[in-house]
Amino acid sequence: MTISGVGSRTSYIGSGITNLRDQLDALTQQLSSGKISNTYAGQGSGRSLAIALRAQISNVAAYADTAVNLNTRIGVANLSLQRLVAIGSDVKGAAVSAGGNFDNTGQTPGQKTASLGFFDSVDMLNARSGDRYLFSGRATDTAPVAPADQIMNGNGALVAGLKQVIAERKTADLGVNANGRVGSAVGTPVTSVVISEEDATPAPPAAAQPFGMKVTGVSTTIAGATVTQPVDLPATVPPTPPATPVQKSMSIDLGATNPNVGDQVKFTFTMPDGTKEDIVLTASDQTPLPANSFLIDPGQPNAVPPVAPSSTVTAANLNAVLGTAMKDLANGPMVAASAIEAGDNFFDQPPLRVGSTPLGSATTLVAGTADNTVIWYQGEQNTAANGSARGSAVSQVDTSIKVQYGARADEQALRAQLQTVAVFAAVAVDPAQLSNATYAKSANAQIAALNQRVAQNLANIPGQQTIQDIQADFAGAQASIKSTTDRQVQTKAMAQTMLDSIEGINDDEVATKILALQTALQASYQTTSNLYQMSLVKFL
């Protein structure tokens, strides 16, 4: 009889040893990797849940990266807004406290502050995060605001900047007679004074034109006097002529009796920027005549025969004083109002320019183009068709949560402040003429009116957007990101715990199994060794 040898390929004990070594290798790999298996097949029935949990954890990680980017962009934008708020406050304070102390450039210290603030504001609105401009809406690769120097001074001889637009508008508002395009004259009856827009030279326009002062109202405390209020004309750009030429005017008729000392007449005019200014004149019998007064005709009691006081002469005196007062108003506060309105024209989309020459008799505004006027804003237009500014940049921070964080430099609050600061910085008087008392008086009146308007325009107006409103929108976006991120951190932790329970191992348990297998394997090796040493002689 033939007795076969003991081999690993045929021995039951040998196959068991091989199985134990495979188990030991698997447990050793688990202990080193911390995973129950390197394949989903080895995870058993939890494999499908593990796949879903890994996808969820991956999504949370992607959203976390998005949140970091969004917080960076919003943070940079908010720093710009904080600086803009500070600039607005500084310039407003400078306008409130500024006087009429002009330097050799024809500007006040407050205007110097505004100039620095304007250049800084342009830099803030051109802020970037990475390669993305933050105040251009969807046009993220385009700087939203033109260079500050170009906005102020133009781009070459043919492309006008703000200073040129202000100068042209000033000439158009003053008119050929430098009187604000209004005039007064003794009317019919001769006891009346008529104030009309566009004096007789040049001829009155056929419809209301946009330049100069506008007659708005007249009132008086003179007993027996009659006032006639102006009738509004349809203002169009360009004007549409009515069937017959018209001229807007208002008047006061003193009647047959002279006013009493102290009686007043108030004439109200609307400035180019929509604000109103009053000229109040008081009847007086003093010599010399006090400021803002008109002389009541005393008659000629010593003449032969004596001449009685006449309201006709008083009306002529009122007309003369009023003419001077209107010219002072035109060359003082109206110039400041003209600059404010020119700034609004320039920062409009498209910008508006005086439409014809000579400028002093122009009657229309026309749209400027990139060929003749600096276009200050280059980003996506803030229009209803383009949707809200915040909606111009949207990112998903969770499966069902989106955050809006867009901004446009031409939003109402941002444009209004930039426009006001720019106008304040752009206006200047001629320092060479300040030695002339008349010019100095007008210059001081201009800067006083400009200071007042700048301070008012930089104040918060109920119902209008402020920079703080934009900051609040950004703060809401950041709050949404934070709450979402906090929730995702908790979700990731729970998903990771569950995934670890499926894919992970218990190190103590695996180590114990390894020790048990090592013991069993050692015993198997010992038994196998003994069997290999077995012979028939030893067996018998």
pLDDT tens readout for residues 507-517:
556 567 667 76
CA nearest 110: which of 123, 124, 119, 97? Answer: 97
Q: What are the residues whose beta carbons fall under 8 Å from the beta carbon of 78, sequence distance 6 or more?
A: 471, 474, 475
The answer to whether residue 204 scores a pLDDT higher than 60 is no
CB 485 within 8 A of CB 398: no
Q: State which of 89-103, 238-252, 454-468 shows the largest mean pLDDT.
A: 454-468
The answer to whether residue 199 scores a pLDDT higher than 60 is no
Percentage of the chain modeled with pLDDT above 90: 60
Residue 509: strand, helix, or coil: helix
pLDDT at 141: 94
pLDDT at 154: 93
CB atoms within 10 A of CB 98: 24
Give CA–CA dist 326/406, Å, rounded. Answer: 48
In this structure, the dihedral spanned by the alpha carbons of residues 141, 144, 150 and 154, taken in order and rounded to 10 degrees, is 110
pLDDT at 171: 96
Structural Rg of the chain based on CA atoms: 43
Architecture of domain 61-145+377-482: Up-down Bundle (1.20)
- pLDDT band for 40, please (50, 70, 90 cuts): low
pLDDT at 243: 47
274-321 pLDDT, tens digit per residue, is 999 999 999 999 989 999 999 999 988 777 787 788 999 999 999 999
- pLDDT band for 540, please (50, 70, 90 cuts): low
Give CA–CA dist 54/370, Å, rounded. Answer: 55
CA nearest 254: which of 197, 318, 195, 301? Answer: 318
Main-chain phi, psi angles of 166, to 5 degrees: -65, -45
The answer to whether residue 35 scores a pLDDT higher than 80 is no
Percentage of the chain modeled with pLDDT above 70: 78
The answer to whether residue 232 scores a pLDDT higher than 70 is no
138-159 mean pLDDT? 93
The answer to whether residue 161 scores a pLDDT higher than 80 is yes
> Average model confidence (pLDDT) for the chain?
85
Main-chain phi, psi angles of 317, to 5 degrees: -65, -45
Amino acid at 275: T
45-95 pLDDT, tens digit per residue, is 566 676 776 777 777 788 788 888 899 999 999 999 999 999 999 999 999
DSSP bridge pairs for 377: 145
Give CA–CA dist 29/415, Å, rounded. Answer: 66
175-190 mean pLDDT? 92
227-256 mean pLDDT? 70
pLDDT at 205: 52
CA nearest 329: which of 253, 276, 250? Answer: 276
CB 88 within 8 A of CB 424: no
155-167 mean pLDDT? 93
Angle formed at CA 410 by CA 406 and CA 416, multiple of 5 degrees: 125
Q: Which stretches of 243-393 are DSSP H helices?
A: 311-331, 333-346
The answer to whether residue 31 scores a pLDDT higher than 60 is no
519 token code pair: 């013991």
410-467 pLDDT, tens digit per residue, is 999 999 999 999 999 999 999 999 999 999 999 999 999 999 999 999 998 888 999 9
- pLDDT band for 497, please (50, 70, 90 cuts): confident
For the chain, give every domain's residue range: 1-32+523-540, 61-145+377-482, 182-331
9 token code pair: 């390929």
